[in-house]
Structure 1
Amino acid sequence: MAKIKHNNFLDTVNEVFTDAKNQGVLHLYAEDTFFNGRKIQIKGKELFHFGTTGYLGLEQDQRLKRAAAAAIFKYGTQFPLSKTYISHPLYSELEQKIASMYGYPVIITKNSTLGHMGVIPSAVSDRDAIVLDHQVHWSVQSATKTLKIRSVPVEMIRHNRLDRLEDKVKALSSKHDKIWYMADGVYSMYGDQAPVVELVALSEKYPQLHLYFDDVHGMSWIGKNGAGYVISKMGQLSDRMLLFGTLSKTFGASGSVLVCSNKEMYHKIKTFGGPLTFSAQLEPASVAAAIASADIHLSDEIYDLQKELLERIELFNSLLEKTALPLVDKNNSPVFYIGTGMPITGYNFVNRLMKEGFFVNLGIFPAVPVKNTGVRITISRHNEPKEIKALVAAMEYHFPKALAATHTTTLKVFRAFNLSTDHLKKTNQMSAHGLQLQYQQSITKISKKLWNELFSGQGVFDWDGLHFLQEAFNGNDLPQENWSFHYFLIRDQLNNPVLATFFTGALWKEDMLAPESVSKLMEKEREKDPLYMTSKVLGMGSLFTEGEHLYLDKSHPLWHQALHLLFDKLEKLQTSLKTSMILLRDFGRDEHLNEFFHNHGFVKIAMPDSCHIKDLSWESPEAYLAGLSTRSRRHFRKDIAPFEAHFDIQYLEHIPDSKKDHYYQLLGNVRKNNLGLNTFAFPKKILTLMANHPQWEFISLTLKKQYSQQGKAIEVGVMFCYKNAKGIYVPAFVGMDYDFAFKHQVYRQLLYQTIKRAGASGFSRINLGMTAGFEKKKLGADLTPTYAYLQAKDNFSMELMGMLQGKK
């Protein structure tokens, strides 16, 4: 069986970034002829700069500028030689001063990304294990991926969940020497912080636990000598901790610094640390500027600078408290995040603020979940109090206007970030624009005639098909076998349908769409815990159905409003059902819908191609075969025709009781052997319901005894086929005995017999489903690219699956 076609993560990010660029909020160019830190010019307009990471403003300090300029004239623009051989003359002075700041030995690196790439593989041995906070910076996560080839386990936990960390430590401690927990000191998007004190206590409780902090956003603006947030909380660095700081950002120069109190480890990393050995060293100007900044950090002046910044931070916090703006995390860091929820609201809000004269950053996927888009505001010493007050006033004015312009509400945004909504008025609702939404939880409450007019040309979700599914996935013993059904019909004032669809609430395996290698790892864990890494999903259609699950009249002038109305209902439903994600699925290439879905918080992922044969008008199987391509006919003669005589072929309207267990086993075989689309087993009673349903029939292949090593006839394959109300034949599922499947080409034979049956029975079309597109194409199927759109509450599962790829 062919495996699912996996979407390239970079393609998704490219699409998101391209959209943000087209909206004028990303990949901009500054146009200034000089900088003072306070303002920045973009598109011919001077804006107050609230997007810098130079929180203390040292990058504009005259002492750093003079030192950098003097070094260039004295030493040149670079010192083109590896530090392994010889360091620039200024390096020794810089290392001594930075070591004095921290009170521990340090290693200077070109930047934090190369630093992590050099340090992590050197510090972590093959006998160790790593646990990542899922919001730790990308550069740390990327560096740990290199350890996969050494079989070092890399686990991931949800953000700041120390209970989960303790569980991981207990689980890993018997097999590994050290367990490294890697986190940020101050997180770059929301400005929230690691629970440093609690982590130190946990490392004292479990001596195998070692801590690795990236504190580049905590540098300079806090702590003794500006040594950063982590040091300010722990006081001293134990020999079981590694700390990264930065010489760029707030420090005002360039480069990064590793702080290590363990002499043996320090020597190991400094002697040979990958990029630390082979990368170019810092330019003379950067080293000189960093020395000048270090002098400031080692003087009392640093505390005056910190105080000035803190006063601005406290002012901003106090002003925000008087507004209804959704500040995601209140703290005393210079990083603030105002949630907007949907990307389109973020674009609108940022553009409004730019027109008012303020530059802020947009927080966007993959740095944050797509529905947690927002505005990241950074406060620096460059920002004057009057400008801070003006920014808050502009945000307070434009935020509700951005919401209204993009069809969302304050309540939705607060819910997207799990913020308290107690203070909000519950009357903040969307206008329905004269549209009427009918919502039902059973297909029996929907007009059979209307539903079939809209959907009977699809798969197993005409009216009778959905009635069957409701029976099958209700009242079962296991939670994964019970689904809730949700039907939506939106009509205009003339009662004409504008939109119709259905969703199911069901428990999904979070690796359902992950590569097979990831699912194999997940299934090992599920041997101990059957519901490991599962979550409830509100998905368009169901895991049983394929096809166009959304009817949308795009010729209607209110189709956008109909989608807004649907999304509003889905959001409320998601809250009541407590689902982790919403999935829209089985869409073709549609740029208008693609843009609409993305702007409203959905990420596009590629599904397998949809396969169908539209023309069954041939008069005989020979005529059908004559219409195939030369290559397909050659495939038929080689891999299908010679094996047809191996089987007795039956077309069954009912399944005898004696065969139900066997058919269920055959169905399970395919599910277990096709982990590229990893789902739970269907409830066993589904065979009984199919057996008694007039629209199901079954194509059975029995291997004749002369071809069986057992010397008896064996039923080795079955196709479960649904006869749609509109003359569509739907081979929905297949079951096979894998002891015979490949030797006798069972799957190819089932496909061919299904096509023959559909043509002979007078059906107009076959919907062959999504998997095994290559095999179906060889038998004349047309393949259509198909996409889904995912809106998850966080990126944890996506990042975890990505981390597990390639792991054995």
Structure 2
Amino acid sequence: MAKFKHNSFLDTVDEVFTDAIKSGVLHLYAEDDQFTGRRIRIGNRDLFHFGTTGYLGLEQDPRLKRAAIDAIQKYGTQFPLSKSYVSFVLYRALEERLFEMYNNPIVVTKNSTLGHIGVIPCAVRDEDAVIIDHQAHWSMHNACQLLKPRGIPVELIRHNNLDMLEEKIKELRRKCDKIWYMADGIYSMYGDCAPIPELMELYKKYPQLHLYFDDVHGMSWVGKNGTGYVMDQLKTLPERVLLFGTLSKSFGASGAVLVTSNAEMHRRIKTFGGPLTFSAQLEPASVAAACASADIHLSDEIYRMQQELLDNILYFNTMLSRTDLPLLERNNCPVFYIGTGMPVTGYNFVNRLMNEGFFVNLGIYPGVPVKNTGVRLTISRHNQREEMKALVEAMVYHYPKALAETETTLNKVRRAFHMPVAEKSKDMAVVRKDMIVQYETSISAIDKAYWNQWMGKKSVFDWDGLNFLEQVFQNNEKPEHNWSFHYFIVRDKQANTLIVTFFCQARWKDDMLAPASVSRQLEEKRLQEPYYLTSSVLGMGSLFTEGDHCYINRDFPAWNDALRVLLDSVETLDDTLQTSMIVLRDFKPDEVLNEFFHNQGFIKVDMPESCILENMEWKTHDEYLSTLSARSRKHFKNDIKPYEQYFEVVCKQTADMEELRHFYALYENVRTRNFDLNTFTFPEKLFISMAQNPQWEFIALYLKEEYDPRPERKAVGVMFCYKNLEYTYVPSFIGMDYEYIQQYQIYRQLLYQTIVRAHALNFHKVDFGMTAAFEKKKVGATIIPKVAYVQPKDNFSFELISGMQNQLIGQVTPK
């Protein structure tokens, strides 16, 4: 559930990074006069360096330095000429060495990012398809965007999910020529590996399958001649496998290298590969340093270096195994990830470690799900055992303190990463003895007057409205029609009310607020798989209601503590319900709340604007018109008033089954077309219950007999309206006959007649809800921006739907 606009994504990333920058853990500057690799100076502090990707420490090797210096002295700082014309004099020597390392044809690229941009559009043909691991490096995902305007399918699968991969292969093999699967050899955040043996079984099973690996984090520290993790697993490079290695990071120089055993593929890519053709080539110093490093890789010395690094990794693993620190992946990779869960805990922990003299990196959104923030640290040959031991001791000491200061627990972190939960005695919870949480599963357990004091006069979630919804959304046949309700009230010891809210667990369509073009595509898929890309969600409010679902007493000095207590309770409930996402919704934009929710592991997403008409003090039609802007008055005179004469407006308190079924059909007409808010249908039981409940009524539009050619007179439009405490009139949703909608301006007429009816009943405001803000503004509604805060268990659905949107945007329709 997210409004997948590219700007929204960039805004969210900007907010996340800005918080991290404010916390002093991102966009730092090194201050050293010289580097040794073992230490780094930041903020006037000399820190032991546990953040490098130079795992073998070759960037400090005197032979690479001498080669680079000598090349600058001989050839200058750059060789300003495209490789398509002339390559720098040392390129041939480098290419020969790399060929000897891999025993396969190679192409040198400026870096792996530009390499992917050059190679992927060249290797993948128009008749091919791509499947990419959802945790594969951003550079590959970015390069695949170039395929979408060509109409090439780009499918996303969950991380290392081979069953899902095989399903996608089966789907695509009859439609496409080659099927490319793209993945990392070693994943840069968690340090886990691609399942190479299992992938090769699929490779043998499906001749169309081609594999494309980015192994830049597996380079040098493992494998024959330091050719990396993938080559160490494969031994020889099959013809249908493309491999990227790096000449930076562990290799110690700069640039990247593509390897292929397919001579024709090699020729085509080297001949013309986008930025491989038009971008500047590597600088003389980089080529010379890479040659010196390749010489080391081709000698037995590389195996001594690999063993020294492995000894450090094994020692560090041993030290960590004696602790309770939540290490995500334990293997022989130099990348380690200690989960912290919430971003604010990560900030606290990193700062504590830096204060103790250790530099580590923070893993944050979008590199990881926001609730999977953690400390990413790396081991290199530079590190000595004494500082590794000291780092582990510092983490053991400071980790529980970081948890306590940010009011979280080890168990909460472990649950966020789907790790075994620690014993309760080790769960360092901060108990708020000055606050009490009342939790109920039915509104009937809460005093009616009390609930309405805080949550009445809003949408359909006063006490009676919720009682109605509870009865409707239970004991239904379809899973999407059965909701569980959860009520939370937080009070202090003096019984002062601090927070009142409610949540529903329900099945949502993951594209509920995605662009209509994406939802249309998904609905085609759902004709065969009704629950494709749908999830169990614990959402504030309900899918039926809209508005301020959470009362927060901001006058209470520790309101943020009360909100934290609420989130703890919600998280505990979510662990029991096992949903895929928590959603806090319908908040007005608020910088303070935004920072608070982000620190607690939530991402802000845009929602459709809310529309409320609050000026109901007018007495006559002319007075109502005077409340509108000049443009809206013109709209009223042209598009609403002239059409009123065609209708008989009937306000119904009840209806028989035949008419209810007709109303339901009109509602479905609208719902199935409204892809801007893509939801499941409501059960027919809802409409029957409305007709039996005095709080509900139907505003029905009938064409007058002289304008209705049908033999049987039926409503052409209906508004389903809830009466909240004689204060707020709530047109919850609408139904229309699309055969007459344009000719008689049915939608606009229903909006106006709703206002007329609410005024006649002396209501103080009309809550028009979300969507169609432009039309509702014309009849006098105030437009209120709204945001939600979401906490998905992973980023897969977000990224999949975002990728679908980009693919649709990129497709060019021929004229």
TM range (shorter): over 0.9
Whichever residue aligns with residue 693 of structure 2, its letter is: H
- Structure 1 partner of 2:813: none
Separation in 2 of the partners of 1:359 and 1:5?
35
Give the aligned partner of residue 724 of structure 2.
724
Shift of 1:710: 4.7
1:751-778, CA deviations, whole angstroms, 9 ceiling, x for partnerless residues? 1111111122211111111111111111
- Alignment map for 1:241-640 (pairs within 5 Å): 241-423=241-423, 425=425, 428-640=428-640
Partners in 2 of 1:513 and 1:7 — Cα distance? 15
Note the 1:140-159 alignment, pairs <5 A. Answer: 140-159=140-159
Q: Distance in 2 between matches of 1:167 and 1:261?
A: 28
Q: Which residue of 2 aligns with 1:8?
A: 8
SS in 2 for 1:554: coil
**Quick one: distance in 2 between partners of 1:546 and 1:4?**
20
1:714–1:64 distance in 2 versus 1, CA, 3 Å = same
Task: Tell me which residue corresponds to 2:132.
Answer: 132
Measured in 1, the distance between the counterparts of 2:368 and 2:268 equals: 36
The structure-2 alpha-carbon separation of the partners of 1:668 and 1:91, relative to structure 1 and needing over 3 Å to count, comes to: same
1:713 is displaced (CA, Å) by: 4.6
CA apart distance, 1:5 = 7.8
> What letter matches 2:214 in structure 1?
D
The secondary structure found in structure 1 opposite 2:194 is coil
Q: Which residue of 2 aligns with 1:187?
A: 187
Structure 1 segment 747-762 matched on structure 2, within 5 A: 747-762=747-762
Partners of 1:423 and 1:435 in 2: CA distance: 25
1:448-475: CA deviations, max 9, x gaps? 0110000112110000000010011000
What is the deviation of 1:10? 0.7
1:54 is aligned to 54
Partner of 2:176: 176
What amino acid is aligned across from residue 331 of structure 1 in structure 2? N
Partner SS, residue 425 of structure 2: coil
Taking structure 1 as reference, are residues 161 and 5 closer, same or farther at Cα in structure 2, changes over 3 Å only? closer
**Amino acid in the other structure paired with 1:629:** S
SS state at 1:8 partner: helix
1:791 aligns with 2:791: yes
In the alignment, residue 747 of structure 1 is paired with which amino acid? Y
Asked if 1:657 corresponds to 2:641, the answer is no
TM-score, normalising length: structure 1: 0.98
Contact 2:411 2:422 in 1 (8 A): no
SS of 2:314's partner is helix
Q: Which amino acid aligns with 2:663?
A: Y
| Cα displacement string for residues 723-770 of structure 1 (whole angstroms, at most 9, x for unaligned residues) | 111511111111112222223211111111111111222111111111
Q: 1:622/1:5 Cα in 2 relative to 1: closer, same or farther (>3 Å)?
A: farther
Is the contact between residue 414 and residue 421 of structure 1 (CA under 8 Å) also seen in structure 2? Answer: yes
Does the CA contact (< 8 Å) of 1:88 and 1:284 recur in 2?
yes
Q: What is the Cα deviation at residue 704 of structure 1?
A: 3.0
Report if aligned partners of 2:144, 2:154 keep a CA contact under 8 Å in 1: yes
Is the contact made by 2:400 and 2:428 (CA closer than 8 Å) also made in structure 1? no
What letter matches 1:647 in structure 2? F
Q: Which runs of 5+ in 2 are unaligned?
A: 809-815
| Partners of 2:410 and 2:426 within 8 A in 1 | no
The CA deviation string for residues 299-336 of structure 1, in whole angstroms up to 9 with x for no partner, is 11111111111111011100000000000111110000
Q: Deviations over 1:232-275 (max 9, x none)?
A: 00111111000000011111111111001111111111111111
Cα pair 1:345 1:402 within 8 Å, conserved: yes
Partner of 2:103: 103
Verify the 8 A CA contact 2:346 2:374 in the aligned structure 1.
yes
Amino acid paired to 1:285: A
Distance 2:456 2:182 in 1: 53
Matches within 5 A, 1:768-779: 768-779=768-779
Task: Measure the CA separation in 2 of the matches of 1:90 and 1:708.
Answer: 85
Identify the residue that residue 765 of structure 1 maps to in structure 2.
765
In structure 2, relative to structure 1, the CA distance for the partners of 1:513 and 1:6 (3 Å cut) is farther
**Could you tell me how far 1:150 is from its partner in structure 2?**
1.1
How many Å apart are 1:63 and its aligned residue?
1.1
Q: Which moved more, 1:445-454 or 1:58-67?
A: 58-67
Q: For the Cα contact (< 8 Å) 1:719–1:750, is it kept in 2?
A: yes
**Distance (Å, rounded) in 2 between the aligned partners of 1:707 and 1:91:** 82
Q: Is the 8 A contact 1:435 1:562 kept in 2?
A: yes
Instruction: Quote the offset at 1:4 in angstroms.
Output: 9.6
What is the deviation of 1:430?
3.2
The answer (yes or no) to whether the contact 2:458–2:548 under 8 Å persists in 1 is yes
Query: Residue 44 of structure 1 aligns with which residue?
Result: 44
Task: Give me the whole-angstrom Cα distance separating, in 2, the residues matched to 1:504 and 1:115.
Answer: 47
Q: d(CA) in 2 for partners of 1:642 and 1:426?
A: 72
Distance across 2 between alignment mates of 1:513 and 1:697: 28
Structure 2 residue 689 is matched with structure 1 residue 689? yes
Check the 8 A contact 1:708/1:714 in 2, yes or no. no
**Structure 1 letter corresponding to 2:151:** S
How far, CA to CA, are the matches of 1:207 and 1:284 in structure 2? 42
The residue number in structure 1 matching 2:214 is 214
Q: Distance in 2 between matches of 1:594 and 1:631?
A: 35
Deviations 1:605-652 (A, max 9, x none): 011111111120000122101221111111111211221112211111
Q: Deviations over 1:482-541 (max 9, x none)?
A: 000000111111112111100000011111121111111111110001111111000000
Q: Encode CA deviations 1:402-440: one digit per residue, 9 max, x unaligned.
A: 000000000100111011125563654331232111111
Of all paired residues, the percent bearing the same amino acid is 60
Query: In 1, Cα distance between the equivalents of 2:807 and 2:358?
Result: 46
- 1:79 is paired with a residue whose SS is coil
Q: 2:4·2:802 contact (CA, 8 Å) conserved in 1?
A: no
- Distance in 1, matches of 2:423 and 2:91, equals 55
CA separation of 1:77 and 1:37: change in aligned 2, threshold 3 A: same
Structure 1 residue 74: Cα displacement: 1.3
Counterpart of 1:746? 746
What value does the CA root-mean-square deviation take over the aligned residues? Answer: 1.4
1:660 alignment partner AA: L
Summarize the Cα distance change of 1:112–1:4 in structure 2 as closer, same or farther, 3 Å threshold.
Answer: closer
Contact 1:503 1:542 in 2 (8 A): yes
Partner SS state of residue 642, structure 1: helix
The alignment's TM-score, normalised by the length of structure 2, stands at 0.97
Distance 2:726 2:271 in 1: 73
Distance 1:564 1:376 in 2: 26
Partner Cα distance (1:479, 1:80) in 2:
64
Compare 65-74 and 137-146 and name the one that shifted more.
Answer: 65-74
8 Å CA contact retained: 2:404, 2:428 = no
Task: Measure how far apart 1:576 and its partner are.
Answer: 1.1
For the residues of structure 2 that align with 1:133 and 1:654, how far apart are their CA atoms?
54
1:112 alignment partner in structure 2: 112
Give the conservation status (yes or no) of the 8 Å contact 2:410–2:427.
Answer: no
C-alpha deviation, 1:563, in angstroms: 1.6
SS at structure 1 position matched to 2:807: coil
Cα distance in structure 2, aligned partners of 1:523 and 1:299: 58
Amino acid at match of 2:429: Q
Q: Which moved more, 1:537-546 or 1:77-86?
A: 77-86
What secondary structure is seen at the aligned counterpart in 2 of 1:176?
coil
SS of the aligned residue for 2:572 comes to helix
Residue 357 to residue 422, structure 1, CA distance change in 2 (3 Å): closer
Please say if 1:198 is aligned against 2:198: yes
Shift of residue 712, structure 1, vs aligned partner: 6.6
Match of residue 811 from structure 2:
none
Return closer, same or farther for 1:369/1:193 CA change in 2, 3 Å cut-off: same
